Amino acid sequence: MNKRSLIFLFLFAALSSLCTFNIRADEPQVSQAALIKNAQAFTEAFEKADAKAVAAFWAEDGDYVDLDGRQLQGRSAIENAFKDFFAENKGLKLRIDVKSVRFVAPETAIEDGITSAIPPDGAPPSQSRYSNVHVKKDGQWVLLSVREAPYTPPGNHEHLRGLEWAIGEWVDEGEGPEVDHATFEWAPENNFIISTQDATVRESW
């Protein structure tokens, strides 16, 4: 999958994910319904490779900044970029993980999450982080700002941090002739814990 294919993946994910995110009970139900409706319509336009319809989800002055820092300003630039994207990428699937959706004002919502782009040839998915700002203009929710950033999956260190107390050398001197030794240490990059164990016999036993 070429590099450009990553440019718009998170946009599709962000809008599609609105169908499943959890909005607090005190958020306006009308806003929730509007965002879900946008997500469904965006999905249909994306699957039809309709660049004009996709770009229409942005505000007229909306913008997008990709992983390389390239900025697309306005619907026209976004539509042209989508035309290239649809011409070069067909059959792409997407998995999304919405981390948060916050209504910071009645007419402004901020969404953050992670996208996984799955190519049709079965190659490993490409992942990225995104942050979108949705605003309500003339009664319609649109994208005002979209930002994409590299995503690095968390390593095992996050899961093993609770065992950090065990790092070091341990000795079990029981009543028998054997003395058991155990050493625990972090592997390179701290993604695994290496354990070394041995036993010795007391000379005086």
DSSP line for the chain: --GGGGTTHHHHHHHHHTTTPPPPTTS-HHHHHHHHHHHHHHHHHHHTT-HHHHHTTEEEEEEEE-TT--EEESHHHHHHHHHHHHHH--S-EEEEEEEEEEEEETTEEEEEEEEEEE-TT-PPPEEEEEEEEEEEETTEEEEEEEEEEE-----THHHHGGGGGG-EEEEEE-SSSEEEEEEEEEPGGGS-EEEEEEEEE-TT-
pLDDT digits (tens, 9 = 90+) for 87-134: 888 877 666 677 877 888 889 998 888 777 778 888 888 788 988 899
User: How confident is the model at residue 108, as a pLDDT?
Assistant: 93
Residue 137 pLDDT more than 80?
Answer: yes
Is 90 within 8 Å of 120 (Cβ atoms)? yes
The letter for the amino acid at 45 is A
User: How confident is the model at residue 136, as a pLDDT?
Assistant: 92
Phi/psi of residue 132, each to 5°? Answer: -120, 145
The letter for the amino acid at 53 is A
pLDDT digits (tens, 9 = 90+) for 144-167: 998 989 988 777 777 777 888 888
Distance CA 24, CA 102 (A): 9
Residue 35 pLDDT more than 80?
Answer: no
Q: Which CATH number applies to 3-150: 3.10.450.50, 3.40.50.300, 3.90.420.10, 3.30.70.270?
A: 3.10.450.50
Instruction: Categorize the per-residue pLDDT at 75 as very low, low, confident or very high, splitting at 50, 70 and 90.
Output: very high
Domain with CATH 3.10.450.50 in the chain: 3-150
15-29, 62-76, 145-159, 179-193 — which is least confidently predicted? 15-29
Residue 12 pLDDT more than 50?
Answer: no
Residue 144 neighbours by CB under 8 Å, 6+ apart: 58, 59, 61, 62, 63, 133, 134, 135
How much is the mean pLDDT over the chain?
Answer: 76
